Structure 1
Amino acid sequence: MRFSSAMPGVAWPAIPGPRGVMRLALLHQLSETQWWSAEQLRAYQLEQLNALLGHARAHSAYMARVLSALPSTLSEDDWLSLPVLRRDAVQTFKDQIRCSVVPAAHGKRHAVFSSGSTGKPVATEQTDLSQLFWEVLTLREHLWHRRDFSGKLASLRHYPADVALPASGGQGPNWGSATADLVQTGPVAMLSVSASMQEQLAWLRRENPDYLLTHPTVLGELLDAIEAGHSLGDARLREVRTISESLTEGLRTRCQAILGVPLTDIYSARETGYLALQCPDHPHYHVQAEGVRVEVLDDHDRPCAPGEIGRVVVTPLHNFAFPLLRYDIGDYAEVGAPCACGRGLPVLTRILGRQRNMLTFPDGRKTWPILNFRSLNGIVPVRQLRMTQLTPEHIQVELVTPVRPDAALQDRLAELIRHNLGHAFVLSFLYPDHIARSAGGKFEDFVSLVH
Structure 2
Amino acid sequence: MDIHSIYLRYRFWILDFFKGSPIGKPYREIKVFDKLSFADGANKRERKLKQLLAFAQTNTIFYKNIKSYNLTDYPVINKQTLINHHKEIEVSQEVIPGQKGNIYIQKTSGSTGIPLEIPQDTLKRKRRIAELKYFGKRVGFNTHDLLIHLRIWNKWQTKSLKQIQKENIIPFDISDMGESRIKELCEIMKKEHVVALRGYASVIDLLATYVQHHPQCFPHLKIIISVSETLQDETRNKVKKYLKCEIISQYANEECGILAQEIPPTKPTDNIMYINHTGYYFEVLKMDSNEPCAYGELGRIVITDLHNYAFPLIRYDTGDVGVLLPPNERSKGYPVLGKLLGRKLDICYTTNGEPFSSMLLSRTLKHYDQIIQWQFIQKKEKEYCLKVIMQQNCDTNKYLESAISELLKVLGPDAIIKIEQVNEIPVLSSRKRKPVINEWKNGKYTQQV
Report the TM range for the smaller structure's normalisation: 0.5 to 0.7
The equivalent of 1:55 in structure 2 is 55
State whether structure 2 residue 98 is matched by structure 1 residue 105: yes
What is the rounded CA distance, in whole Å, between the counterparts of 2:424 and 2:176 in structure 1?
A: 19
1:42-99 C-alpha deviation (Å, 9 max, x unpaired): 432222122222222222111224x2xx33xx1xxx2123221122211222122212
The equivalent of 2:45 in structure 1 is 45
Change (3 A) 1:287 1:437: farther
Give the residue type in structure 2 aligned to 1:322: F
State whether structure 2 residue 244 is matched by structure 1 residue 278: no
What is the rounded CA distance, in whole Å, between the counterparts of 1:233 and 1:438 in structure 2?
A: 48
State whether structure 2 residue 284 is matched by structure 1 residue 296: yes
The equivalent of 1:35 in structure 2 is 35
The equivalent of 2:123 in structure 1 is 129
Change (3 A) 1:280 1:154: same
Shift of 1:254: 2.4
The equivalent of 2:76 in structure 1 is 84
Give the residue type in structure 2 aligned to 1:195: D
1:354-406 C-alpha deviation (Å, 9 max, x unpaired): 589999xxxx9xxxxxxxxxxxxxxxxxxxxxxxx998899999xxxxxxxxx
2:326–2:334 CA contact under 8 A, matched in 1? no
172, 182, 200: which one aligns with 1:215: 200
Change (3 A) 1:436 1:287: farther
What is the rounded CA distance, in whole Å, between the counterparts of 2:260 and 2:19 in structure 1?
A: 24
What is the rounded CA distance, in whole Å, between the counterparts of 1:302 and 1:256 in structure 2?
A: 40
Give the residue type in structure 2 aligned to 1:221: L
Structure 1: stretches of 5+ with no match in the other structure: 7-12, 176-186, 365-388, 398-416, 422-433, 442-451
| TM-score, reference length from structure 1 | 0.67
The equivalent of 1:334 in structure 2 is 323
Secondary structure in 1 matching 2:85 = helix
Secondary structure in 2 matching 1:45 = helix
1:411-440 C-alpha deviation (Å, 9 max, x unpaired): xxxxxx8xx99xxxxxxxxxxxx9876969
Shift of 1:19: 4.8
Secondary structure in 1 matching 2:214 = coil
| TM-score, reference length from structure 2 | 0.67
Q: Give the structure, 1 or 2, with the largest relative contact order (CA under 8 Å, sep 6 or more).
A: 1
Structure 2: stretches of 5+ with no match in the other structure: 1-5, 347-357, 359-372, 376-388, 390-419, 432-437
Change (3 A) 1:207 1:320: same
Change (3 A) 1:26 1:148: closer
Aligned residue pairs, count = 351
User: Identity, % of aligned pairs?
Assistant: 21
State whether structure 2 residue 207 is matched by structure 1 residue 226: no
Shift of 1:253: 1.9
What is the rounded CA distance, in whole Å, between the counterparts of 1:160 and 1:440 in structure 2?
A: 40
1:216–1:246 CA contact under 8 A, matched in 2? yes
Secondary structure in 2 matching 1:130 = helix
Shift of 1:284: 1.9
Shift of 1:158: 2.5
Secondary structure in 2 matching 1:106 = coil
Change (3 A) 1:16 1:110: closer
What does 1:189-268 correspond to in 2, within 5 Å?
Answer: 189-197=170-178, 198-208=180-190, 209-227=194-212, 229-232=213-216, 236-268=220-252
Shift of 1:330: 0.2
What is the rounded CA distance, in whole Å, between the counterparts of 1:215 and 1:30 in structure 2?
A: 26
1:294–1:315 CA contact under 8 A, matched in 2? yes
1:128-176 C-alpha deviation (Å, 9 max, x unpaired): 21221111111212321233557421111132337679xxx9982244x
1:154–1:211 CA contact under 8 A, matched in 2? yes
2:109–2:115 CA contact under 8 A, matched in 1? yes
What is the rounded CA distance, in whole Å, between the counterparts of 1:46 and 1:440 in structure 2?
A: 36
Whose helix fraction is larger, Structure 1's or Structure 2's?
2
The equivalent of 2:311 in structure 1 is 322
1:21-49 C-alpha deviation (Å, 9 max, x unpaired): 24333333333322323244343222212
Change (3 A) 1:117 1:29: same
1:254-282 C-alpha deviation (Å, 9 max, x unpaired): 22122221111211110111111222454
The equivalent of 2:354 in structure 1 is none
Shift of 1:14: 5.2
Secondary structure in 1 matching 2:309 = coil
The equivalent of 2:10 in structure 1 is 4
Secondary structure in 2 matching 1:105 = coil
Residue range with higher mean Cα deviation, 134-143 or 218-227: 218-227
1:187-237 C-alpha deviation (Å, 9 max, x unpaired): 32111111333223213313421211111121122223333x234555532
What does 1:294-443 correspond to in 2, within 5 Å?
Answer: 294-299=282-287, 300-341=289-330, 343-354=332-343
Give the residue type in structure 2 aligned to 1:214: G
What is the rounded CA distance, in whole Å, between the counterparts of 2:228 and 2:122 in structure 1?
A: 22
Shift of 1:349: 1.7
What is the rounded CA distance, in whole Å, between the counterparts of 2:425 and 2:342 in structure 1?
A: 26
The equivalent of 1:161 in structure 2 is 155
What is the rounded CA distance, in whole Å, between the counterparts of 2:228 and 2:222 in structure 1?
A: 21
Give the residue type in structure 1 aligned to 2:282: V
2:250–2:261 CA contact under 8 A, matched in 1? yes
Change (3 A) 1:243 1:109: same
Change (3 A) 1:440 1:270: farther
Residue range with higher mean Cα deviation, 120-129 or 281-290: 281-290
Secondary structure in 2 matching 1:62 = coil
